[in-house]
Structure 1
Amino acid sequence: MVGMTTVRRAVLTLPAAQLGPDNPLPALRRIGGIPTVDERDRAELPRDMARRLGHAPLRTTLPTRMRDGYGRERVPTVLETIEIENDRLRVTVLPGLGGRVHSMVHKPTGRELLYRNPVLQPAAFALNGAWFSGGIEWNIGARGHGTLSCAPLHAAVVPAPDGGEMLRLWEWERLRDLPFQVDLWLPDDAEHLRVGIRIRNPHERAVPFSWWSNTAVPEDRRVLAPADTAWHFGYTQALRRVPVPRTEDGTDRTYPLESVHAGDYFYALPDGQRRWIAAFDRDGAGLVQTSTDGMVGRKLFVWGTGPGGRRWQEWLTEPGTPGYAEIQAGLARTQLEHPTLEAGEEVSWLEAYGPLDADPAVVHGEDWAAAREGVERALAAAVPRAEVDAAYERWRAAADAEPGRRLGIGSGWGALEVLRGRYELPGTPFEPSLLGAEQRPWLELLRTGALPAAEPGAAPGPTLVSDAWRDMLETAPADPVTEYHLGVAQWAAGDLAQAVRSWERGLKNAAERWPLLYCLAVADREDGHLERAAERCAEAFDDQYGGDPLVTAALGRETVTVLLAAARPAEARAVLSRLPEKVRARGAFRHLEARLLLAEGRTAEARAVFDEGFEVADLKEGAEELGELWSRLTDEPLPYAYEFRMRPH
């Protein structure tokens, strides 16, 4: 007899580094990195790809705050999970961490189909900081790992298309201001998880967006997709077309461990081709992801065998454990494109994940066409294309079903947006009861036309930056708090000069000066006025000193950094020395100490900081500052502990 599918709460204990608090400073830094395309390759770009390449990139990660409050110390931590299980599969979901699928076990064989990270170690890979590796993650918004990577989603049980139970995850994505849902279910006799996804644009304007589903698999696999060429994008920020499976040097890039350097391979799937990507071990056992045709993109990411890639793999898990690669699927051919969702429209599709077995001699053979055809045959037998399309149509009829039993609570931002816009979003309720302390000032602005007065000594809360909220801020009474938030919203919109004027107006009558001074310092630094940026940042630090310790540490780090950039080491030393010892002991501040010692001409002491050892917990993906600083101290090779460089050297 076939067992009934169940959806239930569970718990999981992992060694985990605690996420800690968000950075209290506004995320004003502008995002760069527009890719370059060789002219010969540009001529071969499909028209829609050429049009969308580099279209509507994010200026900043506003309105989200940076999540950098984590460290490297891991302790056993109980995580709430949701399990979806039938006789064939057991799927474990982390609703409090972006709805990540942590594990997918094929019960008849006992095989873990995903790369399951044995630890939870945040790292600065998401657009707003904290992210962790492993499983299947849902990335919405813009190029990069989404801002909800380590955030809770709303979760509930809803009726599945086949009459059983389905897990619904939903939230309001704030970078693009779009609500979305992810529905996961297992028919009673199925070996493949069904995932229905919908993104809605309730606004009266078109919105650029992005979606990539990212699956981590063990890197000792061969990755196959139905394409003969791919667009390669590495850490040199250049996009070029390469053959598949072997590139110019003869290396077979479909085996992640044959690549030396990290990079992305976006497969050029022909029109009309069934959409899939799969990873197989040496015995021909693997995982496949397939979808309805609207999900056009497929990608392989490899870390490579170079020292930087190996170091990052260790950084994200435990040294000595197996590494991973990523197989991804998206709504565009590459992650450098942002499609547009028109006003009032929605986009939806269905994905399927599960085991796939194929003849190992074929899928690992030299004949690439035969290998692909072998996977196609196995996939057609396991999950026929018509079955995926039919499941999608059945799911569409269930997509508006109202949630039943609640299994997780996300943020209150969606509730605020629904109140403001009076949106009707069947199936994804954002009730007023979800509104919390962060939304309260904005609820008052919505209802009264004015923000509440600031609490003495408190840091400003998050700023809402969409057109509608910016319009309300522009007509609200022009007190310093409103001018601060208005300037942040104008900065996010790219109106930099107007933002500076708002902050300068607010500064004239501000009792709490440091938030406005900090914003003006960032504006100065972005425009290359380092001296003025240094003066304003130092003044902000002095004004805030003695207040919230979290702000003091964040502002102190920024102040020392800009003072060093302005070649003012004596003032940087004075600021650093005022920070508490436990703050100065953190890896990021030890790195600043080494930089400061070098600026003071104390090279041997700066070298000693490296010799003693430190870890910058929120080191960004592709970061090269440790290697650059080391090269200014000595001609010796960079120690492996600090080797995070991803570009070829």
Structure 2
Amino acid sequence: MTTIRRAAVTLPAADLGPANPLPPLLPLDEAHHVEERDLAGVPGDMARQIRYAPLGSVLPAPLYDGYDRRRAPRTFDALVLENDRLRATVLPGLGGRVVSLVHLPTGRELLYRNPVFQPANFALNGAWFSGGIEWNIGATGHTTLSCAPLHAARVTAPDGGEMLRLWEWERLRDLPFQVDLWLPDGSDFLYVGVRVRNPHDRPAPVYWWSNIAVPEERRVLAPAEEAWHFGYERRLRRIPVPEWEGADRSHPLNSPHAADYFYELPEDARRWIAALDDTGHGLVQTSTAALRGRKLFVWGSRPGGRRWQEWLTEPGTGGYCEIQAGLARTQLEHVRLAERGEFSWLEAYGPLHADAGAVHGDWAGARTEVERRLEEALPHARVAEAYEAWLPCADGEPGEVLARGSGWGALEVLRAGEKLPGTPFEESTLTEAQEPWLRLLRSGELPEPEQPGPPGESLVAPHWRDLLESAAARPLTEYHLGVAQWHAGDRAQAVRSWERALRRTSLRWPLLRCLAVADRAAGDGERAAARYAEAFDELSRGPGEGGAADLVALAALGRETLEALLSAGRVSEARSVWARLPGEVRERGRFRLLGARLLLAEGDRAGARAVFDEGVEVADLREGEEALGELWARLTDEPLPARHDFRMRPEGG
């Protein structure tokens, strides 16, 4: 009998930390940007989808950049689906991640199971962790929900058994989605039904990739003869599969540098991807045709890729690669979903055993062998039948609630006055974060804060912007209206809203910071630095009581202020800011790196070098970021030490 039960997973875990209280007006440095010159040779539909609705910021989602690398045992709530063949372990509080998938008859773990929880700066809004199966929705990159809770409940499965439903409101694109997981009795495959809905009267850009971490000592196979290669030199090119530049790239360690391989699947091909070891055992993922894309991500064999592997897990625990499946050919694209429309599909994950000699032989024979064994294990017709059987269940109302997500979906459902069958967003999930916006919705006015402090999260969708424009022009309303206008691309009007609020409030630092970001975006580094300095001065001597919230805001603003002052060459002012930061903030890795930059700007090369020699660790080092290597090169001609080498692209790339 298939069961769903509560469980607990205890891991050495770093602290996620609080959300950054500053609105993310600009995107994090996103590594997945395609130069226009590379689009001339791609198919027309692919080029259109690459150009369609690129993300300008991660608003309204907050950034998470306050995590550390000090790990201690921590217990996470888990949900376990199990039949007599498979056991799947899901963490609803961390994006619904499937952290383990065990084939019970053999005891094989089919995924790469990370032995630690270590946030790193890979998600669109910062914190992300590696391992298992993750559900990426929103825009190019890892979802803002990577470390966020999802709603979870029991639902009746197509066969009458139990099914686990995960659902949430994705805030970047304002779309509800659901992920239904079930194990038919006696099945060797985990079935996953996914639905993304557009409840609006306007089209919406949609992005979806299911990312599966597997041990990298595998051969990765897919039904393709070509792939689109995209590396951290940010060039997109069509290459043959599997041999390219003298190496068989279907073996992850044969790629020297971190890279994406987006397979070009024929239109009539069955959708699948597999990762099999030397004995021919491993994991296969397959789906209905709507989930068109398949991809291999590798860290590569060079020192930078190996260092990232250590950084994300524990040294000596083995590396991993990712096999992935998505709505488009590549992760560089967004797909248009019509107003009031939906996308849905079925995925299946399970063990596969094929002849090892064939798997590791020539490409055509290996593919034929895997396709034959997959059809024996899970006929394509059965996947289609399972999808058709699941569709009527997608609207089934959840039963026992097993986990709670955010209250943002409840706020949106209240605003629209709609019901979304199958994914209830109950008023009981509303929290303090939604309270000001609920007041705006019901009274037409946004309440002014009772205590000084960061203004809280902004909402930026057109309907919320309209409500803000209709409300009385009080300082907090003007602040949030400016954020919404900025998000809509009306930067001049946003600046005017912030300037109006600045003239009418005593709490100036949040507005000065927004105006500083606007100056920076306009290329006026001097004025940005001056405004940042004024904002930091007010916050650092303000009426706060020195509590945790004040410290979070001071650290967030202090970092941006230091970066702006150093970029503008205002070294003495940067030193003054540094001196006013609390000691515990200055000891964080990111701030120690800024301190080294400050020392170098002051001419203290030895002091800056000592920061490296002491073993600085920048917990929120960004995917593709080369700040460590660049600063090291300014200090010395010596080779970059291995512990500081996070380079992900070819030298000179």
Q: Shorter-chain TM-score: which interval?
A: over 0.9
> Are 1:407 and 2:409 an aligned pair?
no
Q: How does 1:156-195 map to 2 (within 5 A)?
A: 156-195=153-192
Secondary structure class of the residue paired with 2:247? coil
Cα deviations by residue, 1:171-210 (Å, 9 ceiling, x for unpaired): 0000000000000000011000000000000000000110
> Are 1:226 and 2:256 an aligned pair?
no
> Are 1:511 and 2:511 an aligned pair?
no
Greater shift, 216-225 or 537-546, is seen at 537-546
- Equivalent residue for 1:35? 34
Q: Tell me the distance in 1 between the aligned counterparts of 2:452 and 2:616.
A: 33
Question: Which amino acid is 2:457 matched to?
Answer: P
- Equivalent residue for 2:319? 323
- Equivalent residue for 1:111? 108
> Are 1:492 and 2:492 an aligned pair?
no
Q: Tell me the distance in 2 between the aligned counterparts of 1:622 and 1:225.
A: 27
- Equivalent residue for 1:372? 367
- Equivalent residue for 1:521? 516
Shift of 1:38: 5.3
8 Å contact 1:176–1:208 — kept in the other structure?
A: yes
Q: Tell me the distance in 2 between the aligned counterparts of 1:146 and 1:17.
A: 20
8 Å contact 1:140–1:209 — kept in the other structure?
A: yes
8 Å contact 1:181–1:197 — kept in the other structure?
A: yes
- Equivalent residue for 1:15? 12
Q: Tell me the distance in 1 between the aligned counterparts of 2:51 and 2:60.
A: 21
Match of 2:591 among 589, 592, 612: 589
- Equivalent residue for 1:59? 56
Q: Tell me the distance in 2 between the aligned counterparts of 1:120 and 1:267.
A: 30
Shift of 1:338: 0.3
Cα deviations by residue, 1:362-392 (Å, 9 ceiling, x for unpaired): 0100x21111010000000001000000000
Q: Tell me the distance in 1 between the aligned counterparts of 2:40 and 2:131.
A: 34
Question: Which amino acid is 1:581 matched to?
Answer: G
Q: Tell me the distance in 2 between the aligned counterparts of 1:30 and 1:360.
A: 45
- Equivalent residue for 1:358? 354
RMSD between aligned residues: 1.0
Greater shift, 146-155 or 581-590, is seen at 581-590
Q: How does 1:140-539 map to 2 (within 5 A)?
A: 140-247=137-244, 249-365=245-361, 367-539=362-534
* Unpaired segments ≥5 residues, structure 1: none
Q: Give the alignment's TM-score, normalised by structure 2.
A: 0.97
Q: Tell me the distance in 2 between the aligned counterparts of 1:437 and 1:468.
A: 21
Shift of 1:455: 2.5
Match of 1:540 among 527, 530, 535: 535
Question: Which amino acid is 2:427 matched to?
Answer: P
- Equivalent residue for 1:68? 65
- Equivalent residue for 2:561? 559
Question: What percentage of residue pairs aligned between the two structures are identical?
Answer: 67
Shift of 1:37: 5.9
Question: Which amino acid is 1:634 matched to?
Answer: T
Secondary structure class of the residue paired with 1:237? coil
Q: Give the alignment's TM-score, normalised by structure 1.
A: 0.98
Question: Which amino acid is 1:639 matched to?
Answer: P
Question: Which amino acid is 1:254 matched to?
Answer: S
8 Å contact 1:38–1:240 — kept in the other structure?
A: no
> Are 1:100 and 2:102 an aligned pair?
no
8 Å contact 1:483–1:502 — kept in the other structure?
A: yes
Q: Tell me the distance in 2 between the aligned counterparts of 1:292 and 1:37.
A: 32
Q: How many residues align?
A: 642
* Unpaired segments ≥5 residues, structure 2: 545-549
- Equivalent residue for 1:78? 75
Shift of 1:571: 0.3
Q: Tell me the distance in 2 between the aligned counterparts of 1:27 and 1:159.
A: 40
Q: Tell me the distance in 2 between the aligned counterparts of 1:38 and 1:246.
A: 25
Secondary structure class of the residue paired with 2:637? coil
Q: Tell me the distance in 1 between the aligned counterparts of 2:36 and 2:451.
A: 51
- Equivalent residue for 2:43? 46
Question: Which amino acid is 1:606 matched to?
Answer: A
- Equivalent residue for 2:616? 614
Q: Tell me the distance in 2 between the aligned counterparts of 1:501 and 1:641.
A: 47
Q: Tell me the distance in 1 between the aligned counterparts of 2:206 and 2:474.
A: 34
Q: Tell me the distance in 2 between the aligned counterparts of 1:37 and 1:204.
A: 31
Question: Which amino acid is 2:223 matched to?
Answer: P
Secondary structure class of the residue paired with 2:558? helix
Shift of 1:30: 3.6
Q: Tell me the distance in 2 between the aligned counterparts of 1:171 and 1:63.
A: 15
Q: Tell me the distance in 1 between the aligned counterparts of 2:459 and 2:49.
A: 27
Secondary structure class of the residue paired with 2:266? coil
- Equivalent residue for 2:547? none
Secondary structure class of the residue paired with 2:56? coil
> Are 1:138 and 2:140 an aligned pair?
no
Q: Tell me the distance in 1 between the aligned counterparts of 2:180 and 2:327.
A: 17
Question: Which amino acid is 1:527 matched to?
Answer: A
Shift of 1:250: 1.4
Q: Tell me the distance in 2 between the aligned counterparts of 1:30 and 1:296.
A: 28
- Equivalent residue for 2:570? 568
Shift of 1:47: 2.7
Secondary structure class of the residue paired with 1:53? helix
Q: Tell me the distance in 1 between the aligned counterparts of 2:567 and 2:418.
A: 47
Shift of 1:394: 0.4
Cα deviations by residue, 1:97-150 (Å, 9 ceiling, x for unpaired): 000000000010000000000000000100000000000000001000000000
Q: Tell me the distance in 2 between the aligned counterparts of 1:635 and 1:358.
A: 51
Q: Tell me the distance in 1 between the aligned counterparts of 2:320 and 2:511.
A: 44
Shift of 1:83: 0.3
- Equivalent residue for 1:601? 603
Q: Tell me the distance in 1 between the aligned counterparts of 2:431 and 2:216.
A: 42
Secondary structure class of the residue paired with 1:64? coil
Question: Which amino acid is 2:410 matched to?
Answer: A
Question: Which amino acid is 1:359 matched to?
Answer: D
Q: Tell me the distance in 1 between the aligned counterparts of 2:592 and 2:66.
A: 16
Question: Which amino acid is 1:341 matched to?
Answer: L
Q: Tell me the distance in 2 between the aligned counterparts of 1:279 and 1:538.
A: 52
